[in-house]
Amino acid sequence: MRTPIFAASALCAGLLSTIPAIAQDAEDEHHVIDEIVVTATPIARTVEQLAQPTAVISGDNLARSQSTSIGETLADEPGVTASYFGPVSSRPIIRGQYGERVRVLANGLDALDASALSEDHAVSLSSILADRVEVVRGPATLLYGSGAAGGIVNIVDSRIATAPLEKGLSGGVSLGSDSATGKTDGAVRIDAGTSAFAFHADWFRRDTDDVEIPGYAESERLRALEEHEEHEDEHEDEDHDEHEEEEEAYGIVENSDSRTEGGAAAISITGEDSYVGLSVSRYTSNYGIPGGHEHHDEHEEDEDHDEEEEEHEHEHGEEEAVRVDLDQTRYDLAGDTGPVGFLDGVRFRIARNEYRHTELEGEEIGTVFDTTGTDARFEFRHRPGALEGAVGLQYKHIDFLAQGEEAFVPGSKTEQSSLFAFEEYSVSGNLVLQGSARVEAQTIDAEGYSEYSETAVGASLGMIWSLSGDVDLSANLALTERHPNATELYADGPHVAVQRYEIGSVAQGLGVLDKEKSTNLDVTLRGEAGRIQYTVTGFINAVDDYILLRPTADMIDEQPVYLYAQTDATLYGFEASALVELLETPTSHLHLSLTSDFVYGEEDDSGAYLPRIPPLRYGAGLHYTRGPFEASIDAVHHVEQNHTAANELPTDAYTLIGVEGSYAMNEELFLFVKGTNLGDEDARRHSSPLKDTVPLPGRSVALGLRWNF
């Protein structure tokens, strides 16, 4: 445990110690920071004005980062990685928290899909048409529900206009490609109208081929383990030499191709301080599930072995090509009244989602997941006085039904009703306090089980303290509770995607799980020193009754049994970044960027490591700008992860090297070319449940274009 901790501490100390040394020789200049307003809070604030660590990716940076899924788009952000169940099924992971602990939102409302239920389920939202993506690290349960215990990812678009259009007709086109994934994508949007009326339409499509990789799909560690097991079996199986060796996948990840398409139409009525709009969107995707779903039987010790094995391969060969056919229709209604009486405004958002995905085993239907959900949110902003902020109401209802082979969770209805508040108080010109609170009642009615009905509460207090004109210290202490979800309570069946048999607490006969109780502290130092900008955040999260999935020695239907259980756990770590201006002239800039992040998680009683915790990573890059042209080179090193939970293999270290060049003409035209994994490394993300069978893409070249008119 001590080696990564000491390395992390040394890296932070080294990063901070360079600041005054370099600043002594730097010119007395300040770098301009774009004031990007965060919409994930009820009142308009920039990243620097929030006590909780928040990041916004927008504009050219978002265009460069676009990938095959929202998880891959954000995977390089500090404190963020992704699950990578293939390039399409990749969900964001924040500070080692994944699944339903990280809420993915569309304009502040839940995605209302089945992506948090299982790693092979893709998020039914795309960032290709987004204006920006907001990432809140740490518990966002107080504003967005008890499920957001790890953080939120909010995808913000302009389908519903919130202000009068600046032009009678405007729009944009974007195109992109990537050689390693075979990705080609395109999107178009159009906005038209008058000062009081706006119409929006958009469409996108993304296709990918089987992912190209630098070597074997299986990791060296897994192949060595399998070889060891085969040698042991030789002594028990006299016919082993007659058994034909299975050919291992090399060079590509089979069944990882995809086709995704979607679009929307929206109308809005806008005023000086108010708006109301309706959007209807569609999202469809057909993608392969790599890595899992193959079950190779041990050969039998009878004279008909070869014949039976041949018959088995014929009957079950379709299992090698399991695909998901996803279809979603979503309706969004949003508006803001503007000032009304003593209120500064009432903002409301309502979403209705009809989601279905079908898992196909060859041409046969395996499992069908149906989710129909409603998420409604009302925020009442009061006029600024001693306090500035808002109180709000949120209601969510989800009907879930799974039928078929992988229906390991019974059908259920989940209902949440919440009251929340966010307030800010300026103690002085240098000190601002921010507080939040939430009360959330949840009921889950699952088929064949007694109803779950509990209330979760939480509160937080944060501060932003200007130590000087260039240095800010912010801190946020949050005490929150998280409800268990339907899977953790009622699961009882084979989870084919990850090849295990899962049993929830109620299905085990242990009754309902207790609510998780989290105490989370974030401390952030942000500032400028001459030619240097820096941000360092440290966090610790102590969780009582942490819910996790434990492996056992039991087998059901030839699959290992995993049980949902509870323990006390602690997670801690840091995120750090610095930007050093090396050269600055009237026409050009050269700067050095330094980044690092780290998270450590363990059970308090046993000291056992929590599963799928990403290792320490650190990187450096050079970025040169001259007029409209930019060029950069960077390298990010991911250290070896030996802190593994039960049933996990360690993950080898790797370094990803990338280069990029771009051209920007005002805000109208943006072109870029990007090379990634130039060393063609066998890179495996420890946070992925398929890390030992599905590596990240190999060496790749990506091209992109964005044109606004």
Q: What local confidence, expressed as pLDDT, does residue 473 receive?
A: 97
Q: What local confidence, expressed as pLDDT, does residue 231 receive?
A: 76
532: containing domain: 2-708
Q: What local confidence, expressed as pLDDT, does residue 333 receive?
A: 98
Highest mean predicted confidence (pLDDT) among 6-10, 241-245, 465-469: 465-469
pLDDT tens, position by position, 509-540: 999 999 999 999 999 999 999 999 999 999 99
Segment 543-556 mean pLDDT: 94
Contacts 24+ apart (CB under 8 A), 580-585: 580/18, 580/22, 580/531, 580/532, 581/26, 581/31, 581/531, 581/532, 582/531, 584/27, 584/29, 584/531
Q: Which of 338, 75, 251, 343 is nearest to 680 (CA)?
A: 251
Q: What local confidence, expressed as pLDDT, does residue 23 receive?
A: 37
How many angstroms separate the CA atoms of 536 and 78, rounded? 10
- pLDDT at residue 220 greater than cutoff 90: yes
In sequence order, what DSSP letters do the residues of 465-482 get, joined into one string? EESSSSEEEEEEEEEEEE
| Residue 190 token pair | 């159009």
Q: What local confidence, expressed as pLDDT, does residue 230 receive?
A: 79
Radius of gyration of the chain, Cα coordinates, nearest whole angstrom: 26
- The b-or-e profile of 655-689 (16+ CB within 10 A means b, else e) is ebbbebebebeeeeebbbebbbbbebbbbbbbbbb
**Which residues partner with 322 through β-bridges?**
361
Please report which confidence band the pLDDT of residue 474 belongs to, taking 50, 70 and 90 as the band edges: very high
The position carrying tokens 């130092």 is 525
Q: What local confidence, expressed as pLDDT, does residue 127 receive?
A: 94
CA end-to-end span of the chain, whole Å?
54
Q: Residue 190 corresponds to which amino acid?
A: I
Q: What local confidence, expressed as pLDDT, does residue 232 receive?
A: 72
Task: Label residue 454 exposed, middle or buried (CB < 10 Å: 0-12, 13-18, 19+).
Answer: middle
How many angstroms separate the CA atoms of 109 and 469, rounded? 36
What CATH number is associated with residue 74? 2.40.170.20
pLDDT tens, position by position, 222-248: 999 988 887 776 655 555 444 445 578
Highest mean predicted confidence (pLDDT) among 20-29, 283-292, 450-459: 450-459
Q: What local confidence, expressed as pLDDT, does residue 235 receive?
A: 58
More confident residue, 319 or 532: 532
Q: What local confidence, expressed as pLDDT, does residue 292 receive?
A: 53
Q: What local confidence, expressed as pLDDT, does residue 404 receive?
A: 87
How many angstroms separate the CA atoms of 390 and 380, rounded? 5
Report helix, strand or coil for 673.
Answer: strand
Q: Which of 126, 325, 128, 175 is nearest to 670 (CA)?
A: 175
The position carrying tokens 């992040």 is 597
In sequence order, what DSSP letters do the residues of 144-211 get, joined into one string? H-TT-SSEEEEEE--SS-SS--SSSEEEEEEEEEETTTTEEEEEEEEEEE-SSEEEEEEEEEEEE-SE
Q: Which of 84, 54, 51 is nearest to 69 (CA)?
A: 84
More confident residue, 80 or 23: 80
Q: What local confidence, expressed as pLDDT, does residue 383 receive?
A: 93
Cβ neighbors of 83 (< 8 A, separation 6 or more) are 71, 89, 90, 91, 93, 98, 119, 687, 688, 689
Please report which confidence band the pLDDT of residue 317 belongs to, taking 50, 70 and 90 as the band edges: very low
The position carrying tokens 């107080």 is 142
Beta strands in 504-646 (DSSP E): 516-529, 532-556, 559-584, 588-603, 617-626, 629-638
| Residue 293 token pair | 């779903």
Report helix, strand or coil for 76.
Answer: coil
- pLDDT at residue 106 greater than cutoff 50: yes
Structural domain count of the chain: 1
Average pLDDT, the chain: 89
| Residue 58 token pair | 């927008």
Q: What local confidence, expressed as pLDDT, does residue 698 receive?
A: 98
More confident residue, 552 or 232: 552
Cβ neighbors of 391 (< 8 A, separation 6 or more) are 379, 380, 382, 419, 420, 421
Report helix, strand or coil for 436.
Answer: strand
How many angstroms separate the CA atoms of 520 and 305, rounded? 58
Q: Which of 23, 10, 5 is nearest to 468 (CA)?
A: 23
- pLDDT at residue 97 greater than cutoff 80: yes
Alpha carbon of residue 702 to chain centroid: 22
How many Cα atoms within 13 Å fall on the side-chain side of residue 487? 21
